[in-house]
Amino acid sequence: MHSRTANVVLEESFLSVRAKLLEVGAALDRVDRALETGSPLDEDVSIRRDKIDDAIRLLLSERPDRAECIQLLFSRRYSPGWRVDMAIDS
Protein backbone atom coordinates (compact mmCIF):
# COMPACT_ATOMS: atom_id res chain seq x y z
CA MET A 1 0.00 0.00 0.00
CA HIS A 2 1.35 3.38 -0.99
CA SER A 3 0.63 6.24 1.39
CA ARG A 4 0.72 9.85 0.28
CA THR A 5 3.20 12.26 1.78
CA ALA A 6 2.18 15.26 3.86
CA ASN A 7 3.30 17.47 0.96
CA VAL A 8 0.93 15.73 -1.44
CA VAL A 9 -1.98 15.82 1.00
CA LEU A 10 -1.50 19.52 1.70
CA GLU A 11 -1.03 20.36 -1.97
CA GLU A 12 -4.26 18.54 -2.86
CA SER A 13 -6.34 20.16 -0.12
CA PHE A 14 -4.81 23.62 0.27
CA LEU A 15 -7.24 25.61 -1.89
CA SER A 16 -10.30 23.88 -0.44
CA VAL A 17 -9.14 24.40 3.14
CA ARG A 18 -8.22 28.02 2.38
CA ALA A 19 -11.71 28.68 0.99
CA LYS A 20 -13.39 27.14 4.03
CA LEU A 21 -11.24 29.17 6.43
CA LEU A 22 -12.08 32.36 4.53
CA GLU A 23 -15.77 31.47 4.74
CA VAL A 24 -15.54 30.93 8.52
CA GLY A 25 -13.59 34.16 8.98
CA ALA A 26 -16.12 36.13 6.94
CA ALA A 27 -19.05 34.71 8.92
CA LEU A 28 -17.40 35.59 12.23
CA ASP A 29 -16.63 39.10 10.92
CA ARG A 30 -20.32 39.56 10.06
CA VAL A 31 -21.36 38.38 13.54
CA ASP A 32 -18.87 40.73 15.20
CA ARG A 33 -20.03 43.70 13.12
CA ALA A 34 -23.64 42.92 14.03
CA LEU A 35 -22.70 42.74 17.71
CA GLU A 36 -21.15 46.22 17.44
CA THR A 37 -24.66 47.58 16.84
CA GLY A 38 -25.40 46.71 20.46
CA SER A 39 -27.79 43.81 19.91
CA PRO A 40 -26.68 40.94 22.15
CA LEU A 41 -26.83 37.30 21.12
CA ASP A 42 -29.78 35.24 22.29
CA GLU A 43 -28.78 32.53 24.76
CA ASP A 44 -29.09 29.64 22.29
CA VAL A 45 -27.18 31.59 19.63
CA SER A 46 -24.49 32.47 22.16
CA ILE A 47 -24.09 28.77 22.94
CA ARG A 48 -23.60 28.10 19.22
CA ARG A 49 -20.98 30.85 18.97
CA ASP A 50 -19.18 29.34 21.97
CA LYS A 51 -19.18 25.96 20.20
CA ILE A 52 -17.63 27.57 17.12
CA ASP A 53 -14.92 29.08 19.32
CA ASP A 54 -14.34 25.68 20.95
CA ALA A 55 -14.09 24.07 17.50
CA ILE A 56 -11.49 26.63 16.42
CA ARG A 57 -9.45 25.84 19.54
CA LEU A 58 -9.67 22.15 18.66
CA LEU A 59 -8.48 22.91 15.12
CA LEU A 60 -5.47 24.71 16.55
CA SER A 61 -4.59 21.80 18.80
CA GLU A 62 -2.22 19.04 17.75
CA ARG A 63 -4.67 16.25 18.59
CA PRO A 64 -4.69 13.42 16.07
CA ASP A 65 -8.50 13.21 16.30
CA ARG A 66 -9.54 16.82 15.67
CA ALA A 67 -12.29 15.98 13.17
CA GLU A 68 -13.85 13.44 15.54
CA CYS A 69 -13.72 15.87 18.48
CA ILE A 70 -15.35 18.62 16.44
CA GLN A 71 -18.06 16.24 15.22
CA LEU A 72 -18.78 15.24 18.83
CA LEU A 73 -18.78 18.90 19.90
CA PHE A 74 -21.64 19.64 17.49
CA SER A 75 -23.49 16.36 18.08
CA ARG A 76 -26.26 15.57 20.49
CA ARG A 77 -25.43 13.22 23.33
CA TYR A 78 -26.89 9.77 22.87
CA SER A 79 -30.13 9.18 24.71
CA PRO A 80 -31.66 5.69 24.79
CA GLY A 81 -35.10 7.32 24.55
CA TRP A 82 -34.22 9.45 21.51
CA ARG A 83 -37.19 8.21 19.48
CA VAL A 84 -39.59 9.34 22.20
CA ASP A 85 -37.66 12.57 22.78
CA MET A 86 -37.90 13.43 19.08
CA ALA A 87 -41.46 12.09 18.68
CA ILE A 88 -40.45 9.48 16.08
CA ASP A 89 -42.64 6.43 15.68
CA SER A 90 -40.75 3.15 15.36
pLDDT in tens, 12-44: 999 999 999 999 999 999 999 999 998 888 999
pLDDT at 15: 97
Instruction: Note whether 51 and 72 are same-domain residues.
Output: yes
Q: Residue 63's domain spans which residues?
A: 41-77
What is the spatial distance between Cα 58 and Cα 45, in angstroms, rounded to a whole number? Answer: 20
What is the spatial distance between Cα 81 and Cα 43, in angstroms, rounded to a whole number? Answer: 26
pLDDT-derived band at 76, boundaries 50, 70, 90: confident
pLDDT-derived band at 60, boundaries 50, 70, 90: very high
Stretch 60-74: mean pLDDT: 96
Instruction: Give buried/exposed letters for 30-62 (b at 16+ CB in 10 A, else e).
Output: eeeeeeeeeeeeeeeeeeeeeeeeebeebeeee
pLDDT-derived band at 90, boundaries 50, 70, 90: low
pLDDT at 78: 87
What is the spatial distance between Cα 41 and Cα 22, in angstroms, rounded to a whole number? Answer: 23
Residues 6 or more apart whose Cβ sits within 8 Å of residue 85:
79
Instruction: Note whether 35 and 47 are same-domain residues.
Output: no
Instruction: Note whether 70 and 57 are same-domain residues.
Output: yes
